[in-house]
DNA sequence: GCCCAGGCGCTAC
DNA sequence: GTAGCGCATGGG
């Protein structure tokens, strides 16, 4: 009952996703060890600590439930569904890989990282907060801020000498004031944004189900941009990491710029105009292009 | 000490 | 609608 086998789709390589997941030693919401991922997840209101490792040449994943009681099929299905979402199993990569046959940049990253899938943030509230934390600061400091927030306000379980955390619930963050977060070295602005968004979640003004039902890029973006703290970059980031929008493209993202500079062997980062021109070819596959470009940064 | 970092909101035109 | 500017803070 505490071992679940999940078949993987075509074009999936767990090991490629693991490189992305293992990019920061300061990551506090999962652990990568010996080719496996260990993560505390929330499914049907219950906490499970799961251990995910590929078997049979990555044709399947073996999910072991290390902590939390799995007593029926509903829970098993919920855990499977969580993992499928996390590794974006439902998206077909056919169109993206076709792009690789006619676009040199796409070809370059696809050849190197074939089987990489967008690693999602399943918890939408976490997606909002993480993207706001990451605005205009270096990634290392962003991880530090997230770690402080999670270790103080997130639920956790203790297992074999290690503590594993969930991202704090909106109710928890909504109850804080700006000074609480400034104490963690959030800027006043970021503290306001994060608390404000927590309140919107709690008041039912940001409803996950409603956002997920909007599948038009433009409509969704308009809705996200109304939220204080969400600008162009953040809206696209959330659409990419949480909402399965293939057109999501955070064009001002410094990571994209640096990856393109490296791949194209430029002496300076490309201008926005240049990126707009080259990205015309990526239409409909911008989200995967972005994620593959980010992956390039962790070679 | 300087520039950079997975930007955003506000103002003035 | 958009160009300019202040913000705030750590990393290298």
pLDDT of residue A1: 60
Query: Is A74 buried (19+), middle (13-18) or exposed (0-12) by CB count in 10 A?
Result: exposed
Residues with CB under 7 A from strand B: A 130-131, 134-142, 189, 227-235, 237, 241, 252-255, 258
Within A70-207, residue ranges assigned H as helices are 73-86, 94-99, 104-113, 124-133, 139-153, 170-174, 178-182, 188-202
Q: What is the pTM of this model?
A: 0.97
pLDDT of residue A215: 78
Closest CA to A13 of A96, A119, A146: A119
- B9 C1' – A69 CA distance, angstroms? 47
Torsion on CA atoms A282, A244, A299, A137, rounded to nearest 10:
100
Residues of chain A with confidence (pLDDT) below 50: none
Model pLDDT for residues A239-292, shown as the tens digit of each residue: 999 999 999 999 999 999 999 999 999 998 999 999 999 999 999 999 999 999
Q: Which of A88, A103, A236, A253 is flagged as catalytic?
A: A253
Q: A230 is written with which tokens?
A: 């969400």
Task: List all nucleotides in chain C with at least one atom under 7 A from a protein Cβ.
Answer: 7-12
Nearest nucleotide to the CA of A138, by C1', is B5
- C5 C1' – A107 CA distance, angstroms? 40
* Residue A253 annotated in active site: yes
Torsion on CA atoms A269, A252, A130, A90, rounded to nearest 10:
-100
Nearest nucleotide to the CA of A140, by C1', is C11
- B6 C1' – A72 CA distance, angstroms? 40
Task: List all nucleotides in chain B with at least one atom under 7 A from a protein Cβ.
Answer: 4-10
- B13 C1' – A35 CA distance, angstroms? 57
Extract long-range pairs of A86-90: CB within 8 Å, 24+ residues apart: A86/A119, A86/A120, A86/A122, A87/A8, A87/A12, A87/A14, A87/A17, A87/A117, A87/A119, A87/A120, A88/A117, A88/A118, A88/A119, A88/A120, A88/A244, A89/A8, A89/A9, A89/A12, A89/A117, A90/A244
Q: Which three-class secondary structure state does DSSP give residue A43?
A: strand
């Amino acid at each position: 009952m505490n071992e679940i086998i999940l078949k993987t789709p075509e074009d999936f390589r767990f090991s490629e996703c693991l490189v992305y997941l293992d990019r920061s030693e300061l990551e506090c919401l999962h652990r990568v060890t010996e080719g496996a991922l260990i993560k505390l997840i929330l499914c049907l209101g219950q906490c499970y600590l799961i251990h995910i490792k590929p078997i049979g040449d990555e044709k399947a994943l073996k999910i072991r439930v290390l902590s939390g009681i799995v007593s029926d099929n509903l829970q098993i299905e919920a855990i499977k569904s969580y993992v499928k979402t996390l590794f974006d199993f439902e998206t077909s990569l056919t169109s993206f890989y076709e792009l690789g046959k006619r676009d040199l940049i796409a070809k370059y990253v696809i050849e190197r990282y074939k089987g990489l899938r967008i690693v999602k943030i399943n918890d939408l509230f976490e997606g909002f907060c993480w993207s706001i934390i990451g605005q205009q600061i270096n990634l290392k400091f962003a991880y530090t801020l997230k770690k402080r927030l999670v270790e103080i306000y997130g639920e956790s379980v203790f297992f074999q000498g290690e503590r594993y955390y969930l991202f704090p619930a909106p109710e928890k963050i909504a109850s804080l004031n700006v000074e609480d977060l400034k104490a963690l070295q959030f800027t006043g602005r970021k503290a306001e944004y994060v608390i404000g968004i927590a309140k919107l979640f709690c008041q039912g003004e940001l409803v996950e189900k409603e956002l997920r039902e909007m599948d038009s890029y433009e409509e969704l973006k308009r809705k996200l941009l109304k939220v204080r703290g969400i600008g162009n970059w953040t809206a696209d980031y959330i659409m990419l990491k949480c909402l399965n929008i293939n057109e999501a493209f955070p064009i001002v993202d410094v990571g994209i710029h640096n990856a393109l500079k490296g791949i194209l062997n430029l002496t300076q980062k490309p201008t926005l105009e240049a990126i707009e021109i080259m990205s015309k070819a990526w239409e409909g596959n911008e989200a995967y292009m972005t994620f593959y470009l980010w992956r390039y940064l962790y070679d």
